Amino acid sequence: MDALMLARWQFGITTVYHFFFVPLTLGLSLLVAIFQTAYVRTDSDTYKRMTQFWGKLFLINFAMGVVTGIVQEFQFGMNWSEYSRFVGDIFGAPLAIEALLAFFLESTFVGVWIFGWGRLNKGLHLASIWLVVIGSNISAFWILIANSFMQQPVGYTLRNGRAEMTDFGALLTNSNLWMQFPHVFTAGVVTASFFVIGISAWHLLRKKGDIDLFRKSASIAMATAMIATVLVALVGHAQSQHMVKTQPMKIASAEALWDTESPASFSLFTIGDETANKDVFSIKIPTLLSILAYNSTTGEVKGINNLQAEYEKTYGPGDYVPPVWVVYWSFRSMVGSGTLMILLSLYGLYLVMSGKLTARSWYLKLMLFAIALPYIANTAGWMMTEIGRQPWIVFGVMTTEKGVSTSVGAESVLISLVIFTLLYGALAVVDVYLLAKYARDGASAKPGNPEEADLVGAY
């Protein structure tokens, strides 16, 4: 394996691992803020203990996300130095703003929230956690500005062998950004909701400890899960329609659509031959892909073979087809997990509203394992988004092979790849241990202030 392939593997492994923590941070900070708001409004000690308990798990996840995210910056400067040199004028600006504005806001008020129990009045302390929520999501917003430029480059000009920013406003109004950000935010809420429901289900099954706390936690999380899963689907649908216009090769690969069709069929199951670029076996629903792409029974969806020929005319000779099987099955893993989460949250909300949640032990057991579903969907969605863009690192402007460093050899990348993989594996063990430990311990049934030392220890 050469330096390019090793660098791609390293970035893929570290980013997938980092993205385990990001959606939960975005969503769980919001749920903790909702629980604390309920506490401030009602002065209920149950809501106070809910805030404390879920706050501990949020802090563990937040700390791990910060640690794993730092590595990403170093890779841009080392393994992908040619990419950074080429687009640094554009790519670096939103990342710098994210660090100086959003991350500092987020991390500062996390500290205020941890040490503010019993020192700040309720209103100010509540404001600190809401500022954490705002900071976390602003952080995601600025990172997605940078990523959206890679997906749909805007506001730049090529000068002196580099892409230079000419319109910062165009980055902020990039249509890809306004499809991506709502999808990431709602996916974060789904992740946190299923996380809260799953852990609450475990305690409700045991029928020990603070049952009222976990019943209320599950009820609130079930409502947010129902709303967020539907929103994820709706935003994802709009995102796919946008993709048909801006990255047609990605959507063609996601459907294993080899040749242009009008109207186009939706693939339920396809086994393809990527060497010959044709189907070996497929089950398709006629016209459905055109309906999904255009909200109409008519509409042309371009195929892989046609787009390859079109791209060769536009960009010159080359292979412009991503690994179709990866994109195809990533898309189905994401959509399949999302559909299952909608059904589970819909039925769960019915159980909550009818007062039968604790009586359905089979459902509670199922929801414990369902914690994995949003993680599968998030990872599969990220893989489809990034791998489906290949061979471009900046779509239509720079190929991935041209972005890799020319001075970092394969051996150096291999050594750092092995070290990062082992280190992240060790951190994964620590993270799972801490989350499981605090989740099993439950919340203190004693009234009064949360134990600050416990929160600091969790962090």
Q: For residue 247, what are its two tokens?
A: 């990255």
What's the CA gap between 450 and 455, in Å, rounded? 8
Over residues 158-204, the pLDDT tens digits come to 988 898 999 888 999 999 999 999 999 999 999 999 999 999 999 89
Calpha distance 214→205 (Å, rounded): 11
CA–CA separation, 90 and 28 (whole Å): 31
Average pLDDT over residues 138-146: 90
Instruction: Print burial letters for 57-82: b (CB count within 10 Å at least 16), e (below 16).
Output: bbbbbbbbbbebbebeeebbebbbbb
Query: What pLDDT score was predicted for residue 449?
Result: 46
Task: At 76, give phi and psi (nearest 5°).
Answer: -60, -40
Relative orientation angle of helices 177-206 and 361-369, to the nearest 10 degrees: 130
User: 322 by DSSP, 3-state: which?
Assistant: coil
Q: pLDDT tier at 440 (50, 70, 90 boundaries)?
A: confident
| Reported confidence tier of residue 13, pLDDT bands at 50, 70, 90 | confident
3-state secondary structure at position 278: strand
Could you tell me the pLDDT band of residue 447, with boundaries at 50, 70 and 90?
very low
Paired with 158 in beta bridges are: 163
Confidence of residue 456 (pLDDT cuts 50, 70, 90): low
pLDDT for position 151: 92
Q: Identify whether the C-beta of residue 403 lies closer than 8 Å to the C-beta of residue 82.
A: yes
**Helix, coil or strand: residue 297:** coil
Count CB neighbours of 354 within 10 A.
Answer: 9
pLDDT higher than 50, residue 2: yes
What does residue 189 show for φ and ψ, rounded to 5 degrees? Answer: -65, -40
Q: Which residue has the tokens 């409700």?
A: 204
User: Taking 90 as the threshold, does the pLDDT of residue 249 lie above it?
Assistant: yes
Buried b (16+ CB within 10 A) or exposed e, 380-411: bbbbbbbbbbbbbbbbebbbbebbbbeebeee
Check: CB of residue 327 under 8 Å from CB of residue 256. no
What pairs with residue 157 in β-bridges?
Answer: 164
Cα 33 to Cα 28, 39, 58, 113: the distances in Å are 8, 10, 11, 11
Mean pLDDT of 322-351: 93
* Residue 112: other Cβ atoms inside 10 A: 18
Where residue 443 falls among pLDDT bands split at 50, 70, 90? low
Q: Per residue in 287-313, pLDDT tens?
A: 888 888 888 888 888 999 999 999 999
What does the pLDDT read at residue 448? 41
What is the value of pTM for the model shown?
0.89
Predicted pLDDT of residue 444: 54
Q: Are 203 and 442 in contact (CB under 8 A)?
A: yes
For the segment 237-261, the average pLDDT, to the nearest whole number, is: 90
- Per-residue pLDDT band for 210 (boundaries 50, 70, 90) equals confident
Average pLDDT value over all residues in the chain: 87
Tell me the pLDDT band of 450, cut-offs 50, 70 and 90.
very low
Provide the pLDDT confidence category of residue 280 given band limits of 50, 70 and 90. confident
DSSP string, 330-397: HHHHHHHHHHHHHHHHHHHHHHHHHT-GGG-HHHHHHHHHTTHHHHHHHHHHHHHHHHTTTTEEETTT
Contact present, 307 and 249 (Cβ < 8 Å): yes
Cα 391 from Cα 407, distance rounded (Å): 21
| Tens digit of each residue's pLDDT (9 = 90 or more) over 85-94 | 898 888 888 8
Confidence class for position 34, pLDDT limits 50, 70, 90:
very high
Q: What pLDDT, on a 0 to 100 scale, did the predictor assign at position 35?
A: 93
Scored b (16 or more CB within 10 A) or e, 178-212 reads bbbbbbbbbbbbbbbbbbbbbbbbbbbeeeebbee
In this prediction, what percent of the chain has a pLDDT beyond 70?
Answer: 96
